[in-house]
Amino acid sequence: MSGVRVLVGTRKGAFVLTSDGKRGRWDVSGPNFTGWEIYHLKGSPADPNRLYASQTSGWFGQVIQRSCDGGKTWETPGGGVTMAPGGMPAGESNKFVYDTSPGAGKPLTTHQWYDGTQHPWEFKRVWHLEPALTDPDTVYAGVEDAALFRTSDGGTTWGELAGLRGHGTGPKWQPGAGGMCLHTILLDPRDPKRIFVAISAAGSFRTDDGGKTWKPINRGLHSQYIPDPNAEIGHCVHRIAMHPSRPNVLFMQKHWDVMRSDDAGDSWREISGNLPTDFGFVIDVHAHEPDTIYVVPIKSDSEHFPLEGRLRVYRSRSGGDEWEALTNGLPQRDCYVNVLRDAMAVDSLQPCGVYFGTTGGQVYASADAGDSWAPIVRDLPAVLSVEVQTLP
């Protein structure tokens, strides 16, 4: 029977949750990297035993960790040190350096805020790791300040795809409340040269040539708090999702508004429909139903908790506009947690499993596509990311 592995990154370490195909009982492994922020933890589609983790500390900086045995042991690529779960890294590894060479797509060294002041581009952390679809040694990384990196040697060395920062709009990119982060990377399964990224608060971008050149894909987005609400860039996109069978159809959770594109991002339309609030961070797509999407509405951009203190996942089976609240098994009073942008995922079992984690340390799972929910682990540190691997 197939199984499932849920990878959970938290403020104080990483956890690996495993179950069989019934998804009724769960084994919990962790914490790994105790006390460290694990911004993102993700497995390779090409090798179920290969995992990557973004480990961050204000004291020691950014380290990428790699596991080749499904999370049982970890190593620092290039560091030559293998660690058991909970171990601490020894020495520096995997340098990320912004490309400032003259021929690298005119990379930028500063960006300009709306008040006209110049700010240097600084490397703070890796927000998102996206392993390639066919090669376990190739991984893309989205970082803060916003840039896109790639490794082809399993995380030992990283090179910037400088054409993104070198795009003509780069000096006008702005930080969102969480920083100027590249937080979403989508790889087109039909076209290896096509990549989508999203930046807070710049917007969404697409490359059709493997990262050499990029175009903003924000037409149809409207943001009231920027000088030009219809501007080409400056929109605070929180998350983008796609179904692999329809890579031209994208779904977006924006700072406000839930959006849909049917032309690979060239244009967008709002699908917030009957949602009680269209502010939120996560959005995901059912593994087998490309028109079934999930969001978790949050009260507002100043009150990051569920409306009325009721934790509700909303599902649309029609690709947007018509939404239903999914509450069975979720707390419906006095719940004031948040669900962050990388903290929802789906498995590919039948029926589809849906998972999300909260800032209160709960990870909820539904083995019936959202009809009912149960916490599979509680009282973790605040959850930053949730990813899922379906195991053979």
Per-residue pLDDT tens over the stretch 274-323: 999 999 999 999 999 999 999 999 999 999 999 999 999 999 999 998 99
* pLDDT at position 103: 52
Q: Give the CA angle between residues 225, 249, 247 to the nearest 5°.
A: 120
Q: Which residues contact 303 (CB under 8 A, 6 or more apart)?
A: none
Per-residue pLDDT tens over the stretch 30-63: 899 998 999 999 999 999 999 999 998 777 778 8
Q: Among residues 239, 131, 262, which one has the least CA distance to residue 187?
A: 131
* pLDDT at position 101: 64
Average pLDDT value for residue range 137-149 = 95
* pLDDT at position 113: 66
Specify the amino acid at residue 271: I
CA 373 centroid distance within chain:
22
* Range with lowest mean pLDDT among 77-81, 182-186, 259-263, 376-380: 77-81
Per-residue pLDDT tens over the stretch 155-205: 988 889 999 988 888 878 888 888 899 999 999 999 999 999 999 989 999
Helix (H, G, I), strand (E, B) or coil at 172: helix
Domains in the chain, CATH or no CATH each:
3-391 (2.130.10.10)
Within a 13 Å sphere around the CA of 374, how many CA atoms are in the beta-carbon half? 8
Residue appearing with tokens 């000088």: 227
Find out whether 283 and 323 touch, Cβ atoms under 8 Å.
no
Compute the residue count for the chain: 392
Residue appearing with tokens 């959770």: 253
Which residues partner with 139 through β-bridges?
Answer: 131, 151
